[in-house]
Copies of this chain bind each other. A is one copy, B any other.
Amino acid sequence: MTRKSFTVAVVGATGVVGRTMIQVLHERGFPVGQLRLLASERSAGRTVTIDGRDHEIQLASGDAFDGVDIALFSAGGGPSRDLAPLAAARGATVIDNSSAWRMDDAIPLVVSQVNPADLEGHPGIIANPNCSTMQLVAPLMALRDAVGIERVVVDTYQAVSGTGGAAIRELEGQVRAYVAGEPTDVTVYPHQIAFNALPQVDVFLPNGYTKEEWKVVTESRKILHLPDLRVSCTAVRVPVFVAHSEAVHVETRDAITADRARELFAAVAGVVVQDDPATSTYPLATEAAGSDDIFVGRVRQDPSIAGDRGLAFWVVSDNLRKGAATNAVQIAEVLVERGWVQAGAARGATPYRAEGTAIGAPA
């Protein structure tokens, strides 16, 4: 039996998340027949080397999606709004990492192990959640199902890679300037990020919250099917390159112990409990970077909630992987497994998979 393979487009292929998408497709052995790399005019025409083969980056336009089965978008809200409907109209299933479609009632917003059933009957566009929300809702789901959740307070410690390549270079440059005793260059963020904590991620809304904080509120509700869930969030950028950390405080409906919570968390697919105070074992950004899992630790009862209905814990995950690229690919995997996406006409291509292949950076 010949395994089906899919024509996959990656839109925003030269960005940090786009490149991680290509890497993750490869690592997970996703049945890619043809890989089509798309980007804006700025990057179109450049070449990236993957699996020993050169791929030319094509201009992302409606026609570029002809014959595409699955299109992974990570090109920002504007291109997603413009191009995703054009891709979907041509029969592609779009999995979009921008915020453009997330809160659209017609569009499923999916974390692969939390609400995969929401993918059924999708209208051709599927939204990939915000990175901060992604890692939060997996442990919350376990609590919701076992004891119910009433209120969540979450404060984030977010890596600069969530902003993109320019922000990685900015932190790197500021650190180098510090070591060299030179003045610090501030361009990407409104203030120096090196040796600082910036209580601003994305722009401000009229209610005083940042867009990032409000995404955590509204996206969590949608993914967890808890439209009235009470959520409070402060989102903070810290001088970390990769992986977001979160301090989470949950008020549950029924009583729960820390031990029971650890069991529940560990039973969630893709969640790893790292929790041994005696050996200073807890999730860390530097260790989570590069992994597809969500790490949970520092699980303890919160005595500030009566009746053993309070829990506090710490959640860390690679914001480029599970927080973006990996979940997008996992959504595609669910679609394939459940037959909710169909490969187009046979193209005779071999599945995109090879041992020991490096994903090249743009040439």
Contact = CB atoms under 8 A, between A and B. Distances in A.
A86 interface: no
Nearest to A286: B196
Contacts of A191: 280, 284, 286
Interface string A261-303: 0000000000000000110101111100000000001111111
Interface string A308-327: 00101010000000000000
A198 interface: yes
Contacts of A302: 232
Nearest to A310: B232
A117 B208 CA distance: 36
Contacts of A286: 191-192, 195-196
Contacts of A157: 157, 197, 236, 238
B240 A197 contact: yes
Interface string A172-203: 00011011000000000011100111111000
A139 interface: no
Contacts of A277: 200, 204, 208
**Interface SS, A side:** mixed
Interface stretch (A65-73, A241-249, A331-339): A241-249
A201 to B, nearest CB: 12
A99 interface: no
A321 B232 CA distance: 30
A179 B282 CA distance: 27
Contacts of A199: 245, 247, 282-283, 297-298, 314
A100 interface: no
A258 interface: yes
Given A179-B176, A282-B200, A195 B239 contact: yes
Contacts of A303: 207, 230, 232
Size class of the contact patch on chain A:
35 or more
A349 to B, nearest CB: 40
Contacts of A176: 179
A285 B195 contact: yes
Contacts of A234: 155, 247, 249, 298, 312, 314
A166 interface: no
A208 B297 contact: no
Nearest to A209: B300
A312 B280 contact: no
A280 B240 contact: no
A305 interface: yes
Interface string A129-161: 000000000000000000000011101010000
Contact of A280 (B197, B200, B236, B300): B200
A231 interface: yes
B258 A208 contact: yes
A195 B240 contact: yes
A304 interface: yes
Given A199-B297, A238-B197, A249 B278 contact: no
Interface of A: 151-153, 155, 157, 175-176, 178-179, 190-192, 195-200, 204, 207-209, 217, 230-232, 234, 236, 238-241, 245, 247, 249, 258, 277-278, 280, 282-286, 297-305, 310, 312, 314
7 contacts: A157-B157, A196-B284, A199-B298, A200-B280, A209-B300, A234-B298, A239-B240
Rank and list the top 4 A-B pairs by shortest CB-CB distance, nearest first. A208-B300, A230-B304, A204-B277, A190-B280
